[in-house]
Chains A and B, each alone.
Chain A
């Protein structure tokens, strides 16, 4: 589904991704871990098409086509969803209107008729239940004055509505208490299916207790320095990142 080869990306003069290779097949959950500043969020942003980053080398193939050519909205319409680390507050746009516009723009892109008000409401109700999203939040301006937990829940709610084929969760666990973490994770798990893949970007292992990955990759200084099964996350939890840094230094 997704094939990243030799990906390098920079912001300004600073190179952040330093040659990433990663392949993700349908149905797989990959965790990307690593110390602060290792490039995890940059990778997530580059996949979603954030224009602040310049891709200087390498390629990303998604569903057999060149992803880097596509605008963020085209990537979304083709099933890529980024749950933001810091969801943006947008005063004056209600969550519900925003979501309706988004859903119908994606349907238009894919040659489908727009959902009418009743169909849309049914979809929203069903998905809101999935993440215990309060109806009153939907009528409020997008993320405005939402608590940290509400914002993250809103991300997962949007993900449930969009039903992406590749979901990227960027530090979704940061700022969540245990209850919120559990609700958000349950939401993610309910969406798991053999066709859908997930990238979980996280600093800590605790999210991976709830969303169990098939593979764990450790990103350090813009490269994947170690990959392994889910047990790698536990090892990192126990031993920290220092041994990885040391190993990486030895290789160089």
Chain B
């Protein structure tokens, strides 16, 4: 629907301004792509629940607010201390309000293992390399938020792992929204290219400071070359005033492996799209997800495993614990295209609804056009297992502790798949704290 909103008008003004700033660059092919994307955004308009993909997630509270985009901010020592993750070693890159922060970032991996460069710089130092990956996977024509991110892609990061290189230390992107005193908008673009037989682990972590309204709109494009191996973790601990819309678009080629875990512990309105094209043979894709909404939080995960070639495997496990009046959405699509014979695709989504006011909407969506495939899906939404609860209590564990133990175990099923130990332990602590505090 094309009606104008406060935000849409504001964005049009902002984009025109960026175009004048781009000056000499405005004629470049990358800026031309951005301009096209902005037109696509204007054509598509913000989605409404009439759009099937947005049926359960209404952005009406987002689109009539104004936000200040890529606003400069200063984090104090105390802010940084509150954000720190104990024992975490790796390449740590900070973005505040969408803007790269060289002073807070620290790269530890040698340059021959991996190129980690902010987009602005990468356009200067590696223009051809970046151009061959930038905006190659994003679906601007289908998704308004993606088109919007492409149009505004001044800020962001380029990660390139050359053929055969194994990046030993993880790459950790920390996106911080500082919404003290003002509504803040953050748009960053992450472009990841992992060449043949190369390996990398990377994390996108999202946090907010302050109580202003936040609009985060992220797009991450990940190209996984033949026999490459990528681990990707997305961790969201954002304020209740945040709208986070993020799309991760992945393309996998022959014999590559992609491993994702998306953990959403706090947020206001969250929509994660994780779309994986298995465009090669003998690929292996794993998707894990965990969400723990409480209060009036709304957490929506849309995933896609798009099997385009024969002999590949995808496996998906998403789990949620819903409290208070929170809402969860899971839409898991599995496409098996006519050529994709011998596909193995599995999907499971399990939810525990702990409060009568909470609601979970699940929609598995399997579209299979090949005949020799193995696919399964299952979704469950219910209470905790009473039998298990009685078993624990009959061994002397009080009800509150037994519930805590069972819920933690339920979540651990996903958390245990996070293979960067300090991050896993950090999340386990937050989950344990949240579950104990909630369950009275």
A contact set with B: CB distance below 8 Å: 48-52, 71-73, 75-77, 81-82, 84, 87-88, 90-93, 98-99, 101-103, 105-106, 109, 141, 158, 162
A109 CB to closest chain B CB (Å) equals: 7
Interface flag for B392 (CB, 8 Å): yes
Task: Give Cα A84–Cα B391 distance, bound, in whole angstroms.
Answer: 8
B383 CB to closest chain A CB (Å) equals: 14
With a cutoff of 8 Å between Cβ atoms, the chain A residues found around residue B388 in the complex are 88, 90
A241 CB to closest chain B CB (Å) equals: 29
With a cutoff of 8 Å between Cβ atoms, the chain B residues found around residue A48 in the complex are 394
With a cutoff of 8 Å between Cβ atoms, the chain B residues found around residue A158 in the complex are 395
Q: Which of chain B's residues has its CB closest to A49's CB?
A: B394
Interface flag for B72 (CB, 8 Å): no
Given A73-B398, A101-B401, A105-B398, decide whether A90 and B406 contact each other with a Cβ distance below 8 A.
Answer: yes
B397 & A93 in contact (Cβ 8 Å cutoff): no
Interface flag for B86 (CB, 8 Å): no
Task: Give Cα A50–Cα B390 distance, bound, in whole angstroms.
Answer: 7
* Chain B 209-226 near chain A by CB (<8 Å), digits 1 or 0: 000000000000000000
B398 & A90 in contact (Cβ 8 Å cutoff): no
Interface residues of B, count at CB 8 A = 25
Contact partner of B413 (CB less than 8 A), chosen from A73, A77, A92, is: A92
Given A76-B396, A92-B408, A162-B396, decide whether A105 and B401 contact each other with a Cβ distance below 8 A.
Answer: yes
Q: Which of chain A's residues has its CB closest to B391's CB?
A: A88
* Chain B 399-413 near chain A by CB (<8 Å), digits 1 or 0: 101100110111111
Interface flag for B387 (CB, 8 Å): yes
B387 & A88 in contact (Cβ 8 Å cutoff): yes
Task: Give Cα A101–Cα B401 distance, bound, in whole angstroms.
Answer: 9
Q: Which of B374-394 contact A (CB under 8 A)?
A: 385-388, 390-394
Task: Give Cα A221–Cα B393 distance, bound, in whole angstroms.
Answer: 29
With a cutoff of 8 Å between Cβ atoms, the chain B residues found around residue A109 in the complex are 396
Given A73-B399, A105-B401, decide whether A92 and B393 contact each other with a Cβ distance below 8 A.
Answer: no
Task: Give Cα A133–Cα B410 distance, bound, in whole angstroms.
Answer: 26
Q: Which of chain B's residues has its CB closest to A106's CB?
A: B396
Given A90-B388, A91-B413, A92-B413, decide whether A102 and B408 contact each other with a Cβ distance below 8 A.
Answer: no
Given A102-B397, A162-B395, decide whether A93 and B405 contact each other with a Cβ distance below 8 A.
Answer: yes
Task: Count A/B pairs, Cβ under 8 Å.
Answer: 76
Task: Give Cα A73–Cα B392 distance, bound, in whole angstroms.
Answer: 8
B390 & A101 in contact (Cβ 8 Å cutoff): no
A7 CB to closest chain B CB (Å) equals: 19
With a cutoff of 8 Å between Cβ atoms, the chain B residues found around residue A81 in the complex are 394
With a cutoff of 8 Å between Cβ atoms, the chain B residues found around residue A71 in the complex are 393, 398-399
Contact partner of B396 (CB less than 8 A), chosen from A91, A105, A141, is: A105
B418 CB to closest chain A CB (Å) equals: 14
With a cutoff of 8 Å between Cβ atoms, the chain A residues found around residue B405 in the complex are 93, 98, 101
Given A90-B391, A101-B405, decide whether A73 and B396 contact each other with a Cβ distance below 8 A.
Answer: yes
With a cutoff of 8 Å between Cβ atoms, the chain B residues found around residue A49 in the complex are 393-394
B409 & A91 in contact (Cβ 8 Å cutoff): yes
A95 CB to closest chain B CB (Å) equals: 11
Task: Give Cα A71–Cα B392 distance, bound, in whole angstroms.
Answer: 12
A72 & B393 in contact (Cβ 8 Å cutoff): yes
Task: Give Cα A77–Cα B387 distance, bound, in whole angstroms.
Answer: 19
With a cutoff of 8 Å between Cβ atoms, the chain B residues found around residue A51 in the complex are 390
Residue picked from A77, A84, A92, A103, most chain B C-beta under 10 Å: A92
With a cutoff of 8 Å between Cβ atoms, the chain A residues found around residue B408 in the complex are 92
Q: Which of chain A's residues has its CB closest to B409's CB?
A: A92
Contact partner of A72 (CB less than 8 A), chosen from B387, B394, B406, is: B394
With a cutoff of 8 Å between Cβ atoms, the chain B residues found around residue A50 in the complex are 390, 394
A82 & B394 in contact (Cβ 8 Å cutoff): yes
Residue picked from A48, A101, A162, most chain B C-beta under 10 Å: A101
Task: Give Cα A41–Cα B410 distance, bound, in whole angstroms.
Answer: 29
With a cutoff of 8 Å between Cβ atoms, the chain A residues found around residue B411 in the complex are 92
With a cutoff of 8 Å between Cβ atoms, the chain B residues found around residue A84 in the complex are 391, 394
A77 & B394 in contact (Cβ 8 Å cutoff): no
Task: Give Cα A211–Cα B412 distance, bound, in whole angstroms.
Answer: 40
Task: Give Cα A162–Cα B395 distance, bound, in whole angstroms.
Answer: 8
B263 CB to closest chain A CB (Å) equals: 16
| With A93-B405, A103-B396, A105-B398 already in contact, 11 other A-B pairs whose C-beta atoms are closer than 8 Å | A71-B398, A73-B395, A76-B395, A76-B396, A90-B391, A90-B406, A91-B413, A92-B416, A98-B397, A102-B392, A162-B396
With a cutoff of 8 Å between Cβ atoms, the chain A residues found around residue B393 in the complex are 49, 71-73, 76
With a cutoff of 8 Å between Cβ atoms, the chain A residues found around residue B398 in the complex are 71, 73, 105
Task: Give Cα A93–Cα B413 distance, bound, in whole angstroms.
Answer: 10
The 8 closest A-B pairs by CB, nearest first: A92-B409, A76-B396, A72-B393, A106-B396, A102-B395, A88-B391, A92-B412, A93-B409
With a cutoff of 8 Å between Cβ atoms, the chain B residues found around residue A102 in the complex are 392, 395-397
With a cutoff of 8 Å between Cβ atoms, the chain B residues found around residue A82 in the complex are 394
